[in-house]
């Protein structure tokens, strides 16, 4: 865990800034069983389709994301979550506006 944020009350909106034409990430917890990572996607940016051996929960904290899971597109807005099952192909895109998210990954059995 990052020592600079450990045992402190923090506003999640300010833990990561947008950067023009970029995807920015900050891993805040890394354990054998999973991770918690903050992301900021500028408009037009994304992650291409991939899969991971972890169940993953995406929590949108600002903006809106287009998240495709096994070919099904979902629009996920600030204040909403979506679960990406382990080993299923998924992709993320900032289509209409930039977005920030928290990605919590837990190792699947």
Enter the pTM of the model. 0.91
3 within a domain of the structure (yes/no): no
Torsion of CA 38, 14, 78, 58, to 10 degrees: 10
The CATH number assigned to the domain holding 64 equals: 2.60.120.10
pLDDT tens, position by position, 16-40: 999 999 999 999 999 999 999 999 9
2 within a domain of the structure (yes/no): no
Query: What's the number of domains the chain is made of?
Result: 1
pLDDT tens, position by position, 50-107: 999 999 999 999 999 999 999 999 999 999 999 999 999 999 999 999 999 999 999 8
Parent domain of 46: 12-107
Residue 43: CB partners within 8 Å, gap ≥ 6?
94, 95, 96, 97, 98
99 within a domain of the structure (yes/no): yes
């Amino acid at each position: 865990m990052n020592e600079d944020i450990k045992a402190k009350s923090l506003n999640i909106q300010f833990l990561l800034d947008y950067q023009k034409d970029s995807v920015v990430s900050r891993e805040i917890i890394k354990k054998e069983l999973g991770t918690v990572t903050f992301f900021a996607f500028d408009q037009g940016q994304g992650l291409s389709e991939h899969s991971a051996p972890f169940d993953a929960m995406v929590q949108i904290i600002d903006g809106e994301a287009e998240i495709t899971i096994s070919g099904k597109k979902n629009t996920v807005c600030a204040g909403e979550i979506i679960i990406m099952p382990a080993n299923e192909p998924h992709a993320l895109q900032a289509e209409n506006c930039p977005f920030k998210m928290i990605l919590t990954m837990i190792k699947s059995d």
